[in-house]
Amino acid sequence: MAARRVGREKNGIEVKVRPFGPSAEEINALPDGLLEHRDLKAHLSGTRHRLLYLDLIESGEKLARPRPPEEFRATIYDYTNQRTLRATGSIAAPRRLVVEEFGDQPLPSGEEFAEAVTIVGRHSEFKRAIAEGALVPYQAMPPLVGVAQPDGRTQRVLAVGLLPPAGEAPHEIVGVNMARREVIRYETRAPENAQAHNPICGRPNAGQSTASHVAGQVWVTVTQGGTTLWRFLVVRPAASSGTNGSGVELRYVDYRGKRLLYRAHVPILNVKYDGDACGPYRDWQNQEGMVGVNGTDVAPGFRLGSSAATTILETGSDMGNFLGVAIYVQGQEVVLVSKMQAGWYRYISQWRLDADGTIRPRFGFSAVSSSCVCNVHHHHSYWRLDFDLRTAAHNKVREYNNPPLPGMGSNWHDKVYEIMRPRDPARLRKWRVENIRTGEAYDVIPGAKDGTAASSSDTPFGRGDVWVLRYHGNEIDDGTVATGPPYEANISAWVNGESVRDQDVVLWYGAHFKHDVAHEPPGTFGDIVGPDIKRVRW
């Protein structure tokens, strides 16, 4: 598969896909014997433990062309001592490990959640109802509800929802103590920052398979009439970067042979409820759900579609026939889309790349059956756009306002130092990234539905709209784990007065969506937001 290039032509646009990086076979072989390594055995002897997941580690350097990952990191949970072990090693020589101990609580793996469901299924109060289908287990929010102990450790307690599909049995969310294998019930039928009661809102939960912490990257080349329009690397959500993943991730994005973006993704995603009815939550974006698309599988987790893919946003159905990223041509655009899951939330990560050089990043929001989503809540997604127009260095950012800002004689002005800026739709505000030496320029134009942090009723949770920052390789995200707190985005911590003129610049762009399930227009099942990244000079 790694040496194979698969293509498809439609509307005069040809898309070719080639796998990149370690093969699935190489990655699948890494866990073999890993837990028997002498350094790990020294930590795990006499304990009950689980390998949660295995991730590839990307290079921390900013390179002109990518190198395949050379290292991996295994995350193991020790239930006996309530601790996390992370073992880092070389893919080429996996027997050489560096083992570190932590007190944090990583997100559950699919296998661990399945064990929690099995424990609930043996409980005398739920056994019969689950066996007969009167209660259907599902992944609830928050994913972990452990209690912190005085020594800094936390009991590992997974949340398991029990949904009555026929509405006859009571809805409930329980905790499962994974160390003691005990079920915990709550007086209000749910943990304190969740709800489980009637009414139940959202689309039916299909309960299909998901994928997380799975390697997968491909090169995509888009041509038209013999001209190469786009070439970029795509990383599937299950392998995306950042503390909690970052959706469909684009890297090394070239348009007509010139570099535009080094990396583009959504590393921070959170949600706040009016009146704190539930949550707040910091969500994760590396758990893929099923999309509907027919076509050719070109690499593990990538399908080249013969027609447009569908998700819960278009059909209202949580069902699908493919797990990963769908790639297809629609009009003059190449579209990449994947559905992601975080508890009862369904998120759509989408990129639309037009033949004319426009990129339309899009992020969609929907939900499946739960009690919490009956309440008005606000989703906040934050794109990180690492622009490298022609070169990493020598870029600058300009801002447009109409009417001009007081004291400014022009609609445009340069950003000199790092800054956070509100969107201000009344001034038609937009931002331009430009290479000072060569003149290439692209505009970032807000979408009509992107909202503002200031106008959202959950202010100040949204924190901001746009940040202009100088590039630092350790500022991929703010480091908050999805099991939180804190839940707010802390991008402003990086605004520290550094120069951003004639530098390597990064734009963070926040979109804010109010989700009111009770007042969705008929035939709609959520909504989608995002800016346009439009060519000015190329």
* Amino acid at position 80, single letter: T
Q: Determine the Cα–Cα distance for residues 81 and 49; give it in Å rounded to an integer.
A: 9
DSSP at 64: S
Q: Determine the Cα–Cα distance for residues 477 and 268; give it in Å rounded to an integer.
A: 7
pLDDT over 80 (residue 18): yes
User: Per DSSP, what are the bridge partners of residue 172?
Assistant: 162
Where helices occur in 277-418 by DSSP H, the ranges are 312-315
CA-wise closest residue to 231 among 210, 252, 208, 214: 252
* Amino acid at position 65, single letter: R
Residue 69 to residues 20, 22, 400, Cα–Cα distance (Å): 10, 7, 40
Q: Determine the Cα–Cα distance for residues 279 and 192; give it in Å rounded to an integer.
A: 9
DSSP string, 183-211: EE--TTSS-TT----SS-BSBPP-----E
Q: 483-522 burial by CB neighbour count: b if 16+ within 10 A, else e?
A: bbeebbbebbebbeeeebbebbbbbbbbbbbbbebeeeee
SS3 339: strand
pLDDT of residue 4: 64
Q: Determine the Cα–Cα distance for residues 147 and 149; give it in Å rounded to an integer.
A: 6
Give 46: exposed, middle or buried? Use CB within 10 Å, 0-12, 13-18, 19+. Answer: exposed
pLDDT of residue 359: 98
pLDDT of residue 2: 42
Mean pLDDT of the chain: 94
Q: What are phi and psi of 96, to 5 degrees?
A: -95, 115
Q: Determine the Cα–Cα distance for residues 279 and 282; give it in Å rounded to an integer.
A: 9
CA-wise closest residue to 71 among 50, 52, 55: 55
pLDDT of residue 1: 39
pLDDT over 60 (residue 3): no
% of the chain with per-residue pLDDT over 90: 84
Where helices occur in 6-145 by DSSP H, the ranges are 24-29, 38-44, 110-121, 127-131
- How many beta carbons lie within 10 A of that of residue 297, not counting itself? 13
Higher pLDDT, 471 or 64: 471
DSSP at 106: P
How far is C-alpha 408 from the geometric centre of its chain's CA atoms? 39
Residue 478 to residues 442, 474, 509, 537, Cα–Cα distance (Å): 26, 9, 14, 33
Question: What are the tokens at 288?
Answer: 């893929």
Q: How confident is the model at residue 487 (pLDDT cuts 50, 70, 90)?
A: very high
Report the predicted TM-score, pTM, of the whole model to 2 decimal places. Answer: 0.96
Q: What is the pLDDT of residues 263-287, one digit of tens each?
A: 999 999 999 999 999 999 999 999 9
pLDDT of residue 14: 96
pLDDT over 70 (residue 58): yes
Residue 71 to residues 21, 55, 350, 471, 515, Cα–Cα distance (Å): 12, 9, 29, 24, 40
% of the chain with per-residue pLDDT over 70: 99
Q: How confident is the model at residue 298 (pLDDT cuts 50, 70, 90)?
A: very high
Q: What is the pLDDT of residues 171-206, one digit of tens each?
A: 999 999 999 999 999 999 999 999 999 889 999 999
SS3 314: helix
pLDDT of residue 20: 95
